[in-house]
Amino acid sequence: MTDVVMPQLGETVADGTVAKWFKAVGDTVTRGEPLFEVSTDKVDTEIPAPADGTLSIILVAEGATVDVGTVLARIGDGVETSGETASTPPTDVVASTSAPVVATAAMPRATSDEKLSPVVRRLLAENNLDASLVVGTGPQGRITRDDVLAAVAALSAPVAENESSSQGNAGSLSPVVRRLLTENNLDAASIQGTGPQGRLTRKDVEDALATGGATGTSRDEVRIPFTKVRRLTAAHMVRSKATSPHTLMVKEIDFERVELVRRAFGAAFKAREGYSLTYLPFVAAATVQALREFPHLNASVGEDELIVHGHVNLGIAVDLDTDGLVVPVLHDADDLSVPTLAAAIRDRALRARSKKLAVTDMEGGTFTISNPGPYGTLLTGAIINQPQVAILATDGISRKPVVVTDTNGGESIAIHSVGLVALTFDHRAIDGGYAARFLARLNEIIQTRDWTIGL
């Protein structure tokens, strides 16, 4: 018998939603064929069957969200005849809770401690709530974290009688949405809902608060709860700072040679590809070339050792607005041309923001580039993406006067495109001299390479 579990789809992903089962109980499955589809805050992807056999039982139904590692189904020699059934899928937006959520005789419930996870037990204790008052929606009626939070919200914040009339087209309000509206003195009817049947989602309220588009009267304080990705991103950043002694080194680079190529080829490139030729693919190409000469930066720290990777798998940090960030990976980036890098970077960014990244798109990174430059930043000290040993930030590039030297040694003032690049490195892995030589080589490549090749 083989358990099918919710996979870890990225380092900062804690749970996932079973979007679709491709097989039914009793169907024959083959190892490697798509078995189900998972949706997370970062990716939507198909998960292959881990073994050959018969899909014996499905324990988590389509639409249900469960923690990483949860057993979703089992593959065996035949259909299981136990009493276990698939858990009831939750709705996309939690329904309005106009009365406390309590269990009835007809509802499945699990109140014994052995059926409660540590998180559920802690939440029950913190809120002085009896498990018998909570409806369990997990497998065999087990109580989940979301079940407890819904019950707490329902018991502590009963709905006003006139709420339904003030919602307009917003539909039922989840506890989180209700709390945001109350804390910020907002009227649900003043915000356009984008959820199913026009329901208000948390993001609708947060967007209204951020843009001032709601008609609330409070201007003193806005409290926006961290999303799951935001919390996990924060935890990853804190863990990185606690793990690695971060050191920042910065170098100014003259990008004029790249700028001349962009001017000469940019219009034709955009007409052919449909998007602009930015500085980033040039920086990426120069970076992977320099990493081949300074391999200790293309590495990870192991147990009292430095693991130097044979391939450059380049991570590109992608901002998800206020929801955190993800780092999709360009595998074997040292084999890619500038146009291919440009296409790959654009593809990963678009799929990251639409939650269409595959599991393999998030795995195996060996070095990362963060690119806040399009926003005109001056200097960014990025946090290392563990377990890598370095990250390069490319900041804003602008036209500035520089001193140029001719072939005879004469000096003059010219206007060039200039910007800063900042390398944050793990001082356990390398020292400052190694980092400085890497940046010097990166600068040399950017200023001397023939960037017309391949364009």
Q: Which residues are catalytic?
A: 427, 431
Round to whole Å and give the CA distance between 384 and 372.
15
> Contact at 8 Å (CB) between 164 and 200?
no
DSSP string covering 1-16, please? Answer: -EEEE----STT--EE
Q: Which residues pair with 426 in a beta bridge?
A: 246
Q: Dihedral through CA 272, CA 274, CA 276, CA 277, nearest 10?
A: -40
**Closest C-alpha among 191, 190, 155 to residue 175:** 155
**Residue ranges of E strands in 296-389:** 299-301, 306-308, 314-316, 318-319, 325-326, 329-330, 367-370
DSSP class per residue in 145-196:
HHHHHHHHHHHHSPPPTTHHHHSTT--SPPHHHHHHHHHTT--GGGS---SG
Do 100 and 133 meet the contact criterion of CB atoms below 8 Å apart?
A: yes
Which residues contact residue 104 at a Cβ distance below 8 angstroms, ignoring those fewer than 6 apart?
Answer: none
End-to-end CA distance of the chain: 54
